Structure 1
């Protein structure tokens, strides 16, 4: 444990030292975010922040921890493909399809080379179900979905970095205390990544001097997806639910963004200014307050996720129902679906009103 703590601290210091150098490099190659109608920043900000996180993280894994190279190398290869995709996008802005190609290629490396995949699912009453040939598409879709969900919330200074730190810490705690020895090794890797993010956050929190960029947001989403998969090789209903709950903020924002665009008859990949952070700021919160509010929401999801390993089956069912109900109320309160769509509660009230009229 002492070695892990020292490694996390060294990784944070390395990330802290690398970030100013990455910032200068980003300016030189033109990897910057310029103000426009879709972005929050009012001045040109360098991106590529995720490159420093990536370099410090894998330096720690390769040189500071006694983890077999064969366990790290395939993950490194997949992450490198994602990083290259992100760097190109930060400089030239790739189309969504091209980004998907890069992430899919990285996902295939994880499946075939790293042998990290979802093989079977154990369900109550039914028992274990082998996924067979479905293992490949489910694994790739999982990686694509989580990667893009994290990328989607990267809209405010320090937002994706902080939410990822909260999610990763929760995953690490659950893996270390509640799962297997193999999961404990994954947890150590997770804590090292948290250390790398801790070194980067001072430069990224409001007012940010550097952004994660797609380089960092895609890398973080990819690593979270891969590390969660390592605990889902032979998944149960609970182990499937836990990472979804931990990532409740980015997943909720992604699902409702897709629903909102579908209802407004816009392409799923189109951008808008109605994400969670946009809606909270529209309620009157400042930039910093919005980020801190979303941190608190992410922490609530994480606390709920920590209850699953110690709950009974029925306890988990009621926990999930309560979470979904609370989430629906919150989504309707801030108008995440959109102004023109009728929320669920409004429909229920209308239904109840019609019943009263008939009586």
Structure 2
């Protein structure tokens, strides 16, 4: 049954996307070129509606006996309505934030999806107490916006989300979580169908409709897959979402350093930096796909590692991320503390030799 649903969602997305494209032009959901955009012509957006409709059909057919199933679907409806309106009318950031929070509250309060505690690696539990609800809401809203931030190149957000969903599905198989397997694979199939029209050169953008929905569903699925587990396991969804989380984190650092508002748009995100140092549009997307795959593989290895092995793996991964960030200038051209230290050390060594 599930295989039939996945095939239907995949081809359903392929059939629906051209129809949504026509609808986007009709209602004015278009993206016009400007100095921050990479594309050079008016493009239809709102393509995420095709992903959502395909997903919704599959999710209703699955209909599992879970208390949080319909709250999740209702929350996704709030997100989709917000995304569609934003793609047409360019909503105020505060309105979008309120809608995202409302969707998250619905899932947490009505659906009961909460991270109440984590088991510590050396024994005992860390209880969140009254912070469990705000922490869970913060995670959902944060990841929802993180996916939206990387939606800057053809096929980028859809591809990175697909890799994250594939990893979450694989991890759910290891943990035996049937619900996460079903829903994540349904979203994955729907997104892959849309990618036929969204990969470079794109015929349609997913818009906020797609980026917000994918961010929301990935946030919820990762919570369901890893809530109330060990501290080590709690890190796994963070690793899986390494690309959007890293880009968001360093965007915040960059804006704090430059004394800009956190919501201020700029042209210094990961994909912008890679293009600025000479990579083509297609090469940049493939490089970021490779990075997302790297994070996914690290998450799988990390899940099988012992405590100290996991800590060592995280340390190495963070060092690689920092070196990469400094090399491409993600925070700023002058932000190179480790590279500067290495160069100074090399200079001192060479000086001592002479």
Q: 1:66 to 1:83 in 2, by over 3 A?
A: closer
Aligned counterpart, 1:314: 308
Query: C-alpha displacement at 1:350, in angstroms?
Result: 4.9
The one of 149, 154, 161 equivalent to 2:151 is: 154
Deviations 1:234-256 (A, max 9, x none): 13212211111111111111000
The one of 67, 74, 78 equivalent to 1:77 is: 74
Aligned counterpart, 1:135: 132
Aligned counterpart, 1:335: 329
Q: 1:233 to 1:297 in 2, by over 3 A?
A: closer
Aligned counterpart, 1:303: 297
Is 1:214 matched with 2:211? no
Number of matched pairs: 352
Is 1:118 matched with 2:112? no
Deviations 1:80-133 (A, max 9, x none): 111111111111112222211110000000101111111111112351122111
Distance 2:79 2:298 in 1: 31
TM-score by length of 1: 0.94
Query: C-alpha displacement at 1:219, in angstroms?
Result: 0.4
Aligned counterpart, 2:48: 50
Which sits farther off after the overlay, 37-46 or 227-236? 227-236
Aligned counterpart, 2:199: 205
Q: Structure 2 regions of 5+ residues with no counterpart?
A: none
1:31/1:47 contact within 8 Å kept: yes
Deviations 1:130-156 (A, max 9, x none): 211100110011011111111000000
Distance 2:339 2:284 in 1: 25
Corresponding residue SS for 1:48 = coil
2:68/2:113 contact within 8 Å kept: no
TM-score by length of 2: 0.95
Distance 2:172 2:294 in 1: 19
Distance 1:127 1:48 in 2: 47
The one of 23, 26, 32 equivalent to 2:24 is: 26
Distance 2:96 2:229 in 1: 28
**RMSD in angstroms over aligned alpha carbons?**
1.9
1:62/1:69 contact within 8 Å kept: no
Deviations 1:161-186 (A, max 9, x none): 00000011001001112x14xx2221
Deviations 1:45-81 (A, max 9, x none): 1111111111110101112x25237542111110111
Q: 1:306 to 1:232 in 2, by over 3 A?
A: closer
Distance 1:252 1:288 in 2: 21
Q: Structure 1 regions of 5+ residues with no counterpart?
A: none
